[in-house]
Structures are given as structure tokens and as C-alpha cells.
Amino acid sequence: MIIFTDILRLIISIMIAFLAGKLISKLKLPSILGWLIAGMILGPYAVNLLGGSVLESQWFKVLESIFECTFGLIIGSELIWSKIKKAGPQIMITTITESIGTFLVVSLIFGVIFYFTHIPLYLAFIFGGIALATAPAPSLSVVRDMKTKGPVTNTIIPMAALDDLVGSVVFFLVIAFVSAHISTAGISVPVVLFLVFLPVFVGIMTGFLAGLLLRHAHTNNSTIFMMIFMMIVSIGIGFLINILLPAPIFNFTLLGMAYSTMVANIATKEQLNHIMTVMNPIIGLSMIVVILNLGAPLDYHLIAGASVYTIIYIIARAIGKYSGAWFGATISHAPQSVRKYLGFTLLPHSGVSLIFTGIAVSVLSGPAPEYAATVQGTIAAAAVINEFIAVFMAKKGFEWAGELNKSVQSVTV
């Protein structure tokens, strides 16, 4: 009986978030802002409609993983090799410079602060590693919601996939070395790298097989059936891997990205258009649930208790993201609008940052519990404050680039 009550709570929360998004959009702001506010209000720190009994239940974690994989389709379906071949090096260079730039700026600033306050310098690198993370959902929801089109949009979509990879590699390398430094049971770096890229490998294999099957699909119904069936197979493999791992760290968004990228590059243009037409409403629902899950754990009380570290972290990360994106876009000869405004679309942070924070806290909690509390408090408060600023700035970035309402494709969310 409890599970049915919790399912009803989730359905009501989705409906409220949907209406909140529509209301916010009337103010010419992205719907995601309404979903995010709804998540915080409905979450355990406010009215508790979407409380711990839902968020911590096994069925919701399974559902969330499915939605994360489905959300990944919006990125992978745009990574058509023929389209990105010319811009490939440009996107790769910009992704690396904005990621590494953010890591260096945040690590350097906190390194100086911690040097004079006699705090171990490895903590600065942990802050830098967490700061790399860019949550793709907010910016991509602005792309869909406000029908953006242009150089910035064409850059941010493939970057969303690459940024997750680069950020994960750097963060887990930092955690591996920090763990080896402060603990006798260090994390094996090769194993860490294997786990980071594992969702991509799985998605490529199942996506390639799905693409081959689609070549034998001669009707729209068989195309959708094969696409969804192989996606379910992909998710099932991900669940199996999570069960075998010591902690459930398999990235289902990366899985969905890799899977849909392979399908998009093998299927015919007509098949891909039909697949996305059918999947668009499901992707829209997935985005609402993913953002609700992003907002619900955020404690708005942390805004009042934000420390100096939190403010420094938000500013340092913004400087790193913007300057790194500007530098990469400049040396790769990207369009002027990309150089000026791409950095604003990279500010959203919370989802992946909270996952990274949880991992960092688990590593520090035994040998250095006081520093675990510092990391947890700083990033949690930053997640609340930054997300509202970041969503607004992402929208402004697309607006200043002149890309709002340029796409004629209608999207159902």
C-alpha cells in the first residue's frame, strides 16, 4: 500500500512541476526553473510531498536510471558524425580547455586559501575536481523549451556528452590519488578509468546492434519496437553492472548518449525523425523527473548559511568555465557568438556535482571527517545558490547569442 501512495506522490509532483514550468515560461523564463523550484518546495526540506520514502526507494532509483538513460537520447541523437566532423576538433578543444581551465582556477584559488589557513592542499584539488562537472539537463532543457538554434546550440549539445567524460576522468583521477595519499586502501587508477568509460562502451555495443536491427525494420512500428527494446537491454546491462559494483556508480546518462549516438549514425534520416517524434514526449517527461530529483534534495535553508567558501567556489567556477570556454573557442577559431556566450551555458552544476560530492565525502569521512564536512557543506550550499543563477544565465547566453526561438521544430514537454 505504501508503494502505491509513493507512486501517487510522484505523479502529483510531476503534475505540479509541469504546471510550475508552464507558469514560469509565461514570464519568458525557461520551464526548468519552475521544475527546479517545484522540486525544492515538494522535497523533504519543505512540504515533503516528494520525500525520502520516494527518493530513497529502490523502485524510484530504477525509474530515475531509466529516465536518465532516456534523457541521454536528446544528446546522442544530435551527434551525427557527418554534422560534427568539421566542428569536431573545435568542440573537443573547447571542452578540454573549459574543463581543465575550471579545474585549474578553482584548485589554484582554494590552494592559496588553504595554504595560508593550514588546510591540506589535496582538498583544493577535490574542490577543483567537483567544479568540472556541468549538469547538461538545465542548458539542454533551455534548448528544447526555447527552441534555440545557432552556433552556441550546435556547440553545447555535443559538448554535453564530452564534458561529462572529461569531468569524470579528471575527478576520479583526483579521487584516486587523494585516496592513495590519505588511505592505505587506495583506488586503482586503471579500474577507475575503466568504470568511467564503461557506460560508453556498453552504449556503443548495444547501439551498434540496434542500428543493425533497424536496417531490417520496414515499418514505423518495428523501428520504434527495436529502438526501445535495445534501450531496455542497455539499461538492464547497466543495472546488472551496478549490482556487481561495490557502489552503484554506473552513469545511465552516458549510456543513453552513447546508445543513441550509434543509432543516430546508423539509422536512416527518416527512421531517426520518426524515433525522435515518438520519443519527444517521453524525453520531456524524463527531463521533468530528472530535474525534480535534482531539486528535491536541495535544502533552501543552506542559502542563509552559505559560507565564504561557497561564494568563492561559485565565483571561481564561473570564471574557470567562462574563461576556459572563451580560450578554447578562440584558439579553435569558433564563431564570435560561441566565444562570447558559450561559457554562460556551462554554468549549471548541481546534479553531477552532488554525485561527485557524495563520492568525495565517502573517501574523506574515515581519514578526515572534518574536511568531509567542509566539502559537503560548501558544495551543497553552492548547488542551491548556483542553480538559480546558472539557469537564468544559460537562458541569457542563448538570448545574447541571438538563438532563441530560431528552431521551427515543435517540442512537447
Domain coordinates in residue numbering, the chain: 61-400
Grid cell, residue 99, equals 574543463
Query: How far apart are the C-alpha atoms of 394 and 347, rounded to whole Å?
Result: 7
pLDDT at 190: 72
Query: How far apart are the C-alpha atoms of 219 and 272, rounded to whole Å?
Result: 13
Q: What is the 3-class SS of the chain, one letter each residue?
A: CHHHHHHHHHHHHHHHHHHHHHHHHHCCCCHHHHHHHHHHHHCCCCCCCCCHHHHCCHHHHHHHHHHHHHHCHHHHCCCCHHHHCCCHHHHHHHHHHHHHHHHHHHHHHHHHHHHHCCCCCHHHHHHHHHHCCCCHHHHHHHHHHCCCCCHHHHHHHHHHHHHHHHHHHHHHHHHHHHHHHHCCCCCCHHHHHHHHHHHHHHHHHHHHHHHHHHCCCCCHHHHHHHHHHHHHHHHHHHHHHHHHCCCCCCCHHHHHHHHHHHHHHHCCHHHHHHHHHHHHHHHHHHHHHHHHHHHCCCCHHHHCCCCHHHHHHHHHHHHHHHHHHHHHHHHCCCCHHHHHHHHHHCCCCHHHHHHHHHHHHHHHCCCCHHHHHHHHHHHHHHHHHHHHHHHHHHHHHHHHCCCCCCCCCCCCC
Nearest C-alpha neighbor of 165 from the set 134, 139, 196, 202: 196
pLDDT at 253: 78
Grid cell, residue 311, equals 561564494
Nearest C-alpha neighbor of 255 from the set 203, 205, 210, 209: 203
Nearest C-alpha neighbor of 33 from the set 285, 292, 391, 399: 391
Query: How far apart are the C-alpha atoms of 312 and 78, rounded to whole Å?
Result: 35
Query: How far apart are the C-alpha atoms of 206 and 257, rounded to whole Å?
Result: 12
197's CB contacts (< 8 A; 6+ apart) are 165
pLDDT at 354: 67
pLDDT at 1: 65
Angle at 313 between CA 308 and CA 318, to 5 degrees: 135
pLDDT at 142: 80
pLDDT at 177: 80
Gap between the terminal Cα atoms of the chain: 31
Query: How far apart are the C-alpha atoms of 388 and 10, rounded to whole Å?
Result: 23
Tens-digit pLDDT string for the chain (413 aa): 678 899 999 999 999 999 998 898 787 776 777 887 888 889 888 889 988 888 888 899 889 888 888 877 776 666 666 655 655 678 889 989 999 999 999 999 999 999 999 999 999 999 999 998 777 667 777 887 788 888 998 888 778 767 777 877 788 788 878 876 775 445 566 776 677 788 889 999 999 999 889 888 888 888 888 889 999 999 999 999 988 876 666 778 778 888 988 888 888 878 888 888 888 888 888 888 887 887 787 776 666 666 788 899 999 999 999 999 999 999 988 899 999 999 998 888 766 676 677 678 767 877 788 888 788 778 877 877 887 788 888 888 999 999 888 765 433 33
CATH code for 61-400? 1.20.1530.20
> Look-up: residue for cell 573557442?
329
**What amino acid occupies position 89?**
P
**pLDDT tens profile 249-306:** 677 877 888 898 888 888 887 888 888 888 888 888 888 888 788 778 777 666 666 6
Query: How far apart are the C-alpha atoms of 68 and 60, rounded to whole Å?
Result: 12
Grid cell, residue 187, equals 583506488
Query: How far apart are the C-alpha atoms of 151 and 403, rounded to whole Å?
Result: 8
Length, in residues, of the chain: 413
User: What backbone torsions phi and psi does residue 301 show, to the nearest 5 degrees?
Assistant: -60, -25
User: What backbone torsions phi and psi does residue 335 show, to the nearest 5 degrees?
Assistant: -55, 155
pLDDT at 409: 46
Query: How far apart are the C-alpha atoms of 295 and 290, rounded to whole Å?
Result: 9
**pLDDT tens profile 354-386:** 667 767 876 787 778 888 878 877 887 787 788
The torsion defined by the Cα of 107, 109, 110 and 114, in degrees rounded to 10, comes to 120
pTM reported for the whole predicted model: 0.69
pLDDT at 320: 95
Note whether 412 and 284 are within 8 A (CB). Answer: yes
Query: How far apart are the C-alpha atoms of 320 and 127, rounded to whole Å?
Result: 13
**pLDDT tens profile 312-326:** 999 999 999 999 999
